[in-house]
Chains A and B, each alone.
Chain A
Amino acid sequence: NAGVMQNPRHLVRRRGQEARLRCSPMKGHSHVYWYRQLPEEGLKFMVYLQKENIIDESGMPKERFSAEFPKEGPSILRIQQVVRGDSAAYFCASSLGQGVLEQYFGPGTRLTVT
Chain B
Amino acid sequence: QQQVKQSPQSLIVQKGGISIINCAYENTAFDYFPWYQQFPGKGPALLIAIRPDVSEKKEGRFTISFNKSAKQFSLHIMDSQPGDSATYFCAASKRYSGGGADGLTFGKGTHLIIQP
Indicate whether A and B interact. Answer: yes
Which residues of A approach B to under 8 Å, CB–CB? 4, 31, 33, 35, 41-48, 50, 55-56, 58-59, 91, 93, 95, 97-99, 101-108
Interface residues on B, range: 20 to 34
Which residues of B are found within 8 Å of A93, using beta-carbon distances?
A: 104
Which residues of A are found within 8 Å of B106, using beta-carbon distances?
A: 35, 42-45
* Cβ contact of A108, chosen from B43, B105, B109, cutoff 8 A: B43
Q: State in angstroms the CA–CA spacing of A35 and B106 once bound together.
A: 10
Contact across chains for A101 and B105 when beta carbons are under 8 A apart: no
Contact across chains for B89 and A102 when beta carbons are under 8 A apart: no
Contact across chains for B45 and A105 when beta carbons are under 8 A apart: yes
Contact across chains for B42 and A42 when beta carbons are under 8 A apart: no
Tell me the smallest distance from the CB of B49 to a CB of chain A, in Å: 7
Which residues of B are found within 8 Å of A107, using beta-carbon distances?
A: 42-43
Contact across chains for A97 and B99 when beta carbons are under 8 A apart: yes
Contact across chains for B44 and A97 when beta carbons are under 8 A apart: no
Most buried by A among B36, B101, B108: B101
Which residues of B are found within 8 Å of A101, using beta-carbon distances?
A: 32, 49, 93, 95, 100-101
Tell me if B54 counts as interface (CB < 8 A to partner A). no
Bits for B38-60, please: 1 = Cβ < 8 Å to A, else 0.
00001111100100000000000
Tell me the smallest distance from the CB of A1 to a CB of chain B, in Å: 14
Tell me if B102 counts as interface (CB < 8 A to partner A). yes
Bits for B6-48, please: 1 = Cβ < 8 Å to A, else 0.
1000000000000000000000000010101000001111100
* Cβ contact of A50, chosen from B93, B98, B108, cutoff 8 A: B98
Which residues of B are found within 8 Å of A41, using beta-carbon distances?
A: 108-109
Q: State in angstroms the CA–CA spacing of A105 and B89 once bound together.
A: 13
Tell me the smallest distance from the CB of B75 to a CB of chain A, in Å: 15
Q: Quick one: closest A residue to B96, CB to CB? A: A55
Contact across chains for A98 and B49 when beta carbons are under 8 A apart: no
Q: State in angstroms the CA–CA spacing of A94 and B45 once bound together.
A: 12
Q: State in angstroms the CA–CA spacing of A103 and B95 once bound together.
A: 12
